[in-house]
Homo-oligomer: A and B are copies of this chain.
Amino acid sequence: MAQKPTIPKGTRDFSPSEVSKRNYIIETIKSHFQYFGFQPIETPSFENSETLMGKYGEEGDRLIFKILNSGDFLKKVKDDLYSEKDSLKITPKISEKALRYDLTVPFARYVVQHQNEIEFPFKRYQIQPVWRADRPQKGRFREFYQCDADVVGSKSLWQEVEFVQLYDAIFSDLGLKDVTIKINNRKILSGFAEVIGESDKLIDFTVALDKLDKIGEESVKKEMLEKGISTEALQKIDPIFSLQGTFAEKISGLKNILADSEEGKKGIEELEFIQRAIEEMPLQTASLDLDVTLARGLNYYTGAIFEVAAPEKVKMGSIGGGGRYDDLTGIFGLKNMSGIGISFGLDRIYLVLEELDLFPNEAQQNTTVLFINFGEKEALYAMKAIKKLRAAEVNAELYPDEAKMKKQMNHANKRDIPFVVLAGSKEIESELFTLKNMKSGEQFSVSVADLIGKVK
C-alpha cells in the first residue's frame, strides 16, 4: 500500500548541505544580534486567531493558515449558520488558532502579555519560521524563516544608528560587500504631501513614488494624476525627482523642498543625526544612501524606514528592511511604546551568497574522517580511535558494515569526506593508523595523537 511521497506546494525539504548553509547564515546573524545586546525570545507557532486576524489587512487575513479545531468541531456550529455553507462565516466557528504570519505581531503580543517581567527598553531578537498561504512562486514560499531584531521602549535615535551598524556588521561578516542600506523617514514623505497640499493623499502619493525605480518618473506622475493628485501639486513635486548626489547633497536639496513643513524638517534633522554618527563611525563594507522614494509598509512606520539592497551585480532586490513604529503594542492595549526593528531575508541572502560563491568551507558541516571497516576486531580498534577523535571535536565515523573496500571508499567520495583511515591487522600490531587524504591521495602512517593533529 505504498504512497507516492510528496510535500505540500510552497514548502521545502532541506538537505544536509542546505541546512548547514542556512545555519551558517543564521548563526552569523545571531552572533551579531548578541554582540549588539539583543536577547532571544520564541513564541508559539500558532496564536489564537483573534491575535492575528485584522492585523495585516483583508489580504493578510486571507493568507493566514487556520488550524481546524480538534474533535467534533461541527457540533459547535449552529444549524442556521451551517446551512448557509459560507466558508468565511464558518471559519471562526471551526478554527480558533492560526499559524503566525510574521514575527512582529506575536512580538507585540509578547511584550504586552509579559510587560511586568520585561525591563525596558527591551531589545529582542527572534528567528523562527512563519507561514503564508500565498501563491507559491520562484523565491516565495508558504513556510519561511524571519530573522528580526527590535527594540521597544526607547525613542532614541541611537537605535537607528545601531541598526545601520548592525546591518553593516552582519553583511560584512558574511563577506557580502557593497550592500546599500537605503534610509528614508516617514516624516519626509509626510512633508512632501504637506508642501504639495495633498496630505490627505499621503498613501496614494507614496505608493506611486515607491515605484520610481521600477516604472520611471513619467509613469509615477501618471499614476499620481490618476489618483487625483493635482497638476499643480505635480509641478511642485518636480525637485524630488532631481534629488541626486551624496547623502549630504540630497539633504541640502530636501531642505529647500521641505522648507515650509515642520514635519519634513523634523525628518531631515533625524536623518542628519544618523548620517553624522555614521560618518564618525564609518561602515565596514556597506554604504548608507538616502532614498526619498522608499516607503515600504507606510501605514506602519512613523520614523526611519530602512531597506537593504544586494550588490548591484546580483539581481535580487531587497535582502532586509525595517523601520520605526510608534504604536505597535497599542493594538494589544499598551500605549506609548515606541519601537524600531529590522529584518533579514534569509532565503534571499542564501541565494546571493550562493550566486557569489561566498559560503566558506566551514559552512559545509560534514564528517571529517571515515574509518574503513575490515571486520569486528579491526572495527573495535577503529572505534577506540574514533572515540578519541570525537573527544577532540573531530567529526568521525566508522563505515558500519564490513563491505568491499571499493564500496567503502566510494561512500567517502560521494559524501565528500576529506580523510579516510585504514587500519587492518598490520596497523593494529604497530598501534598505528593509515590516514589517506582523499583529495591529494597522500597516505601517512600515524599514531592516534598525530591523526588528530593531521585532520584538525
Contact = CB atoms under 8 A, between A and B. Distances in A.
Interface of A: 1-8, 11-16, 19-20, 23, 31-32, 34-37, 39-48, 50-51, 62-63, 65-68, 70-75, 77, 82, 85-88, 90-91, 94-97, 99, 109-110, 112-114, 117, 119, 121, 123-124, 129, 131, 133, 143, 151, 154-156, 158-159, 161-162, 165, 169, 277, 280-281, 330-333, 365-367, 370, 373, 379-380, 383-384, 387, 389-390, 393-398, 400-401, 411, 414-415
A41 B13 contact: yes
A70 B74 contact: no
A395 to B, nearest CB: 5
Contacts of A74: 85-87, 90
Contacts of A162: 398
Given A36-B397, A42-B19, A71-B87, A165 B6 contact: no
B35 A390 contact: yes
Contacts of A280: 380, 384
A401 to B, nearest CB: 5
Oligomer: number of copies? 2
A13 B87 contact: no
Contacts of A158: 373, 379, 383, 398, 400
A154 B400 contact: yes
A340 to B, nearest CB: 10
Given A40-B365, A66-B67, A112 B395 contact: no
Contact of A401 (B16, B95, B154, B165): B154
A156 B48 CA distance: 48
Contact of A390 (B67, B131, B159, B169): B169
B35 A393 contact: yes
Contact of A15 (B3, B67, B91, B114): B114
Given A13-B41, A41-B14, A51-B3, A97 B8 contact: yes
Contacts of A99: 45, 67
A121 B399 CA distance: 9
A72 to B, nearest CB: 5
Given A37-B395, A119-B414, A400-B121, A87 B66 contact: no
